């Protein structure tokens, strides 16, 4: 079992819709979780961090963490064409290293 499982997609949503991206993880000791966005040919960009159970909202983005069920999700409301990218979840087990998911490709279509 991989430490972080993430559907590679592609996930296709129409412009203006809600995009929902999900990850599950195996290590209950993980304490902090992140979402990175990577445009084609560019470097990963941190867009959300979440440390406690529940929701964290930042503009059109909402990160959700459920430690009991060991999953995290990212909701993107009012999806825009510019949201088309690969989104990776990552978790920190306090080892000094992040464990990354394989990434989900999101395609927002007009």
Angle at 60 between CA 92 and CA 6, to 5 degrees: 40
Which positions touch other proteins (CB under 8 A)?
A: 31-32, 34, 42-46, 49, 51, 88, 90, 92, 94, 96-98, 100-103
Report yes or no: 2 and 52 within 8 Å, Cβ to Cβ. no
Q: Measured from the CB atom, is 9 or 17 closer to other proteins?
A: 9
Q: Write down the residue that tokens 């949201």 correspond to.
A: 83
Taking the complex as a whole, the smallest distance from the CB of residue 45 to other proteins amounts, in Å, to 7
Q: Measured from the CB atom, is 44 or 71 closer to other proteins?
A: 44
């Amino acid at each position: 079992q991989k430490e972080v499982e993430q559907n590679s997609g592609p996930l296709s949503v129409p412009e203006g819709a809600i995009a929902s991206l999900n990850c599950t993880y195996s290590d209950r000791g993980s304490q902090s979780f992140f979402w990175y966005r990577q445009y084609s040919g560019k470097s990963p960009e941190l867009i959300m961090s979440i440390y406690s159970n529940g929701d964290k909202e930042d503009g059109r983005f909402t990160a959700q963490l459920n430690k009991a069920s060991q999953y995290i999700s990212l909701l993107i409301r009012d999806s825009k064409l510019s949201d088309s990218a690969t989104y990776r979840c990552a978790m920190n087990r306090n080892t000094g290293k992040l464990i990354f998911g394989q990434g989900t490709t999101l395609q927002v279509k007009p």
